[in-house]
Amino acid sequence: MGCVHVISLLPLLIIAATSVVVLLAIAVRRNHAAAFGLTLAGLAAGICSTFFTPPNQATQLLLMDRYAFFFMGLLMAASLFIALLSYGYLAAREARREEFYVLLLVATLGAMTLTASSHFTSLFLGIEILSVALYGLIAYLRDRSLPLEAGIKYLVLAGSSSAFLAFGIALVYADLGVLDFATVAQRISSTQSGSALGLLIPGTVLILVGVGFKLALAPFHMWTPDVYEGAPAPVTAFVATVSKGGMFALLLRYFSLSGADRSPRLLLVLSIIAIASMLAGNLLALFSTNIKRILAYSSIAHMGYLLVAAEVSSRLGVGAGAFYLVAYFVMILGALGVVTLLSSGERDADRFEDYRGLFWRRPVLALIFTAMLLSLAGIPLTAGFLAKFYLVAAGADSHAWLLIFVLVVTSTIGLFYYLRVVGVMFHQPASERLVPEPLPRRTPAVSVVLVALSAFLIWFGVFPSPLLRLIQFAIGKIF
Amino acid sequence: MLNDSILSLITFVPTAGAFVVAFLPRRGKVIQWFTLLVTLTTFVLTLHLPAHFNYGQTGFQFEQDRAWITSPNIRYHLGVDGISTWLVVLVGFLSILGVLASWNAISTRTKEFYFLFLIQQTAMLGVFVSLDMFLYYGFWELSLVPMAILIAMFGRNRGPQAAIKFFLYTFIPSALLLVALLWLYSKTGTFDFVETQKFLSQYGALLSPQALWWVSLAFLAAFAVKVPVFPLHGWLADVFSEAPTAMAMVVAGKLGLYSIIRFNLGLFPEQSRQIAPLMIALAAIGVLYGALVALVQDDMKRLIAFSTVGHLSLILLGIFCFTVVGLNGAVYHVINHEFSGAAFLILLGILYERYGTYEMSKYGGLAAKLPRMATLYIITTLSLIGLPILNGFVGEFLILSSSFGVHPGWAIAATVTVILNAGYMLLLIQKVFFGPESHLVASHPHSDIVAREGFALVPAAVLMLVLGVASPYWIRTIDTAVSRLAQNVAHVTSTLTTTIAEKR
């Protein structure tokens, strides 16, 4: 491995180094602000590095191309925002706050590894780095029961799904003797004759289970609402965005490698999973009255929409998927950012009651939340609308009419629960005395970022061209 | 120069105004005065269109066509023809009435109200001027959002429920409209209306007729709900009784009817002709149903809601006759009905501000106390009934006379309802303004129409007369677009069309 390879690993190295530096800093002296500052600096440096690092195949495991850099930048930007959110959140709740940032950085590193992996080994490596850090993050508020419960639930389920994944990889290896995506994808899609022992299909299915769990696709979605509800709000945002985003980038890359001639059986399975996710997410959310659970179900549905993009992965499909992922990041981070800001010291603001008449108390926050929810629902002028539009257009391009039909119908069902939340926020309390407990103190930095996210939301919804050009530039290489 | 950008200007002046409103202080009537100024400006700008309208030119005028999004190919293409020109002016005029009607009625949360009100104006204007179907779809969906929020915020009793009902009713078919649009795009490679129309008329025969049929149905369903057409009218009565006057004025009718004329007749003439018998039957049933249900309402807002269903169904009847006369009458009646209906809703709002109820049975003997209001009520009522020399008559007459030539049976049913219309409207006038003075009326102080209300309603009353007498002036504009459309659609009924047109 030459010097060029090391340089092209720069974003990964920066994040890994930052986590070590933060760890050492904690060993010297505990200081929340210092750990926070170091984390921000590391993430910012990582984001900058994606712009000028030369693309390269760094070892057989990691393909550091522009596609990977694009998603790494996105993931690090999301982590940066989550770190900003966590600062105020932790300050009000937890005595030992510094390790949180170490875990955050390590988890981000795992997700970033996923975006660059071109080999099942790096896939497994990335998932494990991500998951192990996430156990800690989810249960970080140790003295509360909900986060602990969520952490254990995630530990058990993620552990078993990793076992599935490892077993699947082993079966595939036993059959083919190779583990890099390009060869495996080609052998799976080419003909049945590629398989010597007949272990390829079972292996693929087991891998799919592991991946499906990570992305919370139906029928592997059971953990999502509990973990979303139990985890501290910033961690929920991390689970919803960085953890899923990295996995999804990998999925898109894998499918783009196998090209147009994909195994029809695999496609059928994926279609069923996508349809089940869209239906399950949107229908279950209808009966929920907890904001975090609603967002959890909504993210199941959104992963279903995204899978449509993976499935039609023509060039159009990958572009649509990437655009959707960016829009999804903006919306979910915005929504959970508002939830974090509204959370009091005792518990997270996840009940409808916390939002009743919010507009009359905190108009700006309520408007931001409304924008995010409307975008999740896919109302025009927001990024969510164009994102869905590109998805449907990509689907129409490859004549996946059934998927499109389900997508459109379920997303209109989805409207109902988003609107219910919006309705609650605009509901005027019967009398002024009904104003509940004093609101948590304001954190200007987060508010500024939230406003910026809303601006992005509208910007991408009205003038998507710059973002589209960037995506075209990024995915140019993988075709 | 101005001709190129006038439509953008008209469409986005309200938006600019809305953002200024967001930063105005909530003191006094600052916001109201400013919104009034914005709507007046918009209205004056819309008058540019008829003033510079080129009667000789078929097709679209005042066009503006810029690249917007390159992939997929979406353009910023605006333009109006004879049909949309007057609808744009109508929106401009109604927005002034809307501000005046809300002047005192909306006393809390004024900033939110006028902000959304102005965004709603932009959305409606955008629907009428967009020639790129993606752009059109954006405005179409956008027009639902402020409406739903305003209904939820300002509903009388069950605002949120009515809002959600409205939203779901209108949004689900709209989503299918998007799929239909994308299907068209995947075949034509363009969202541009004019190009799509050209493509379909040349190569439409090459596409699968079954698929085209479904696509046209998706278009029609989305619009029919918004009109609303008879079995899909479930949302209207709730929305009318919950929405603030300024919103109830614009929620029904013109957007959906215009879209049916523009897209269903414009893009799918063949399919429209096939479905016409069904639509005409539904329209005739709607006319009858609206009138009959209105007859037994005690809540005056619900009464006017069902009367609206009746009138809109009549317009639908005119549209699906596919004659030049019928279409002229339909477009003209859209303008007139929106206009008189709005005036009537404002009058109801005024009554509600004074007495706090819409229940007819609580009123009685108002005419002696409030003579000026009674006069305005009666003029508007007569216009809604369709009394000759007032505006309502022209459209009704054109629609009914043309439908007799095409579907006499349904036309007779629709004509009979004219009597029912007169029945329930006059009954309303009689109950509210005549007879013995009721307890409610006696126990309240009397204040007749004040200057602000007069400023909205007297010009409206004068216009009702002018629109009734000088109809050829407007119809001349509408005719330029409609005659071409009718030729496209109805070569079957062409003989009839020419004979009636000659008579006129």
- Encode pLDDT of B371-392 as tens digits: 888 899 999 999 998 888 888 8
d(CA B8, CA B11): 5
CB A83 within 8 A of CB A237: no
The proportion of chain A whose per-residue pLDDT surpasses 90, expressed as a percent, equals 44
Contacts of B466 (CB under 8 A, 6+ apart): none
Q: How confident is the model at residue A15 (pLDDT cuts 50, 70, 90)?
A: very high
Cβ–Cβ below 8 Å for A380 and B149? no
In chain A, where the domains are located: 3-474
Cβ neighbours of residue A340 closer than 8 Å, sequence gap 6 or more: A85, A88, A89, A233, A234, A237, A348, A446
Asked if residue B293 belongs to a domain, the reply is yes
pLDDT of residue A299: 92
Of B99, B81, B82, which Cα lies nearest the Cα of B42? B99
Best B69, B156, B157 residue to mutate vs chain A (most A CBs within 10 Å): B69
Q: Is residue B96 part of a domain?
A: no
Residue B64 counted as domain residue? no
What single letter denotes the amino acid at residue B137? Y
Q: Coil, strand or helix: which one is B78?
A: strand
Q: CA-CA distance, B359 to B438, in Å (whole number)?
A: 12
> Which of A408, A427, A428 is the best residue to mutate to test the B interface, defined by the most B CB atoms within 10 Å of its own CB?
A408
Residue A151: per-residue pLDDT: 92
Candidate ranges A92-96, B183-187, B492-496; pick with highest mean pLDDT:
B183-187
Nearest to B171 among A389, A415, A468 (CB): A415
pLDDT value at residue B353: 85
Contacts of A308 in chain B (CB under 8 A): none
- The answer to whether A426 contacts B153, with C-beta atoms less than 8 Å apart, is yes
User: Taking residues B277-296, what's their average pLDDT?
Assistant: 90
3-state secondary structure (DSSP) of residue B475? helix
* Contact (CB<8Å) B186/A405: no
Task: Name the average pLDDT for chain B.
Answer: 86
Contact across the interface for A396 and B149, Cβ inside 8 Å: no
The residue length of chain A stands at 479
Joined together, the tokens standing for residue B138 give 């954006």
Decide: B257 and B334 in contact? Cβ < 8 Å.
yes
Is residue B8 domain-resident? no
pLDDT band at B503 (very low <50, low <70, confident <90, very high): very low
Residue A1 confidence (pLDDT) above 50: yes
pLDDT score for B492: 39
Answer whether B145 touches A (CB < 8 Å). yes
Cβ within 8 Å of B, A 356-385: 374, 379-381, 385
Q: Considering its fold, how many domains does chain B have in total?
A: 1
Say yes or no to pLDDT of A29 above 70.
yes
Omega within 30 of 0 (cis) for the link into A219: yes
Q: B249 pLDDT exceeds 80?
A: yes
Check residue A369 and give its pLDDT.
Answer: 93
Pairing of β A62-64 and β B61-69: unpaired
Specify the residue for token string 């104003």. Answer: A435
pLDDT at position A93 is 82
Nearest to B333 by CA among B427, B261, B408, B285: B261
Helices then strands, counting H and E runs in chain B, come out as 24, 2
- What single-letter amino acid sits at B306? F
**Does A392 contact B182 at a Cβ distance shorter than 8 Å?**
yes
Nearest by Cα to B391 from B453, B471, B448: B471
**Do A104 and A79 touch, CB atoms closer than 8 A?**
yes
Query: Would the CB atoms of A412 and B148 count as touching at under 8 Å?
Result: no
Calculate the average pLDDT of chain A. 86
CA-CA distances (angstroms) from residue A441 to A91, A344, A447?
A: 11, 9, 11
Instruction: Look at A191-205, A338-352, B237-251 and tell me which has the smallest mean pLDDT.
Output: A191-205
pLDDT given at position B498:
47
Q: What is the domain range of residue B397?
A: 272-504
| pLDDT the model gives residue A192 | 55
Q: Is residue B29 part of a domain?
A: no
The answer to the question of residue B471 being in a domain is: yes
- Flag whether B198 is in a domain: no
CB A218 within 8 A of CB A283: no
Reported confidence tier of residue B496, pLDDT bands at 50, 70, 90: very low
- Residue A190, pLDDT score: 67
A381 and B178 in contact by Cβ < 8 A?
Answer: no
Which is it for strands B61-69 and B74-80: parallel, antiparallel or unpaired? Answer: antiparallel
Strands B74-80 and A56-58: unpaired
What tens digit of pLDDT does each residue of B19-65 get?
999 888 888 788 999 999 999 999 999 999 888 888 877 788 888 88
pLDDT reported for residue B491: 54
Higher pLDDT, A4 or A262: A4
In this structure, the strands spanning B61-69 and A56-58 are unpaired
Could you read off the pLDDT of A359-398 as tens digits, one per residue?
878 888 888 999 999 999 888 778 998 898 888 888 887 7
Residue range B119-172, pLDDT digits in tens: 999 999 999 999 999 999 989 988 888 888 888 888 777 877 888 888 888 888
- Of the pLDDT bands very low, low, confident and very high (cuts 50, 70, 90), residue B493 is very low
Task: List CB contacts (< 8 A) between A426 and chain B.
Answer: 149, 152-153
The pTM assigned to this predicted structure is 0.82
- Min Cα separation A349/chain B (Å): 23
Burial pattern B76-97, b for ≥16 Cβ within 10 A else e, equals bbbbbbbbbbbbbbbbbbbbbb
The closest CB to that of A412, out of B138, B148, B171, belongs to: B171
* Range in A275-284, A318-327, B245-254 the model is least confident about: B245-254
pLDDT in tens, A258-312: 665 567 778 888 899 999 999 999 999 988 889 999 999 999 999 999 998 888 7
Give the one of B142, B164, B168 whose C-beta lies nearest to A423's C-beta: B164
B341-382 pLDDT per residue, tens: 999 999 998 888 888 888 888 888 888 888 888 899 999 999
Q: Does residue B406 form part of some domain? A: yes
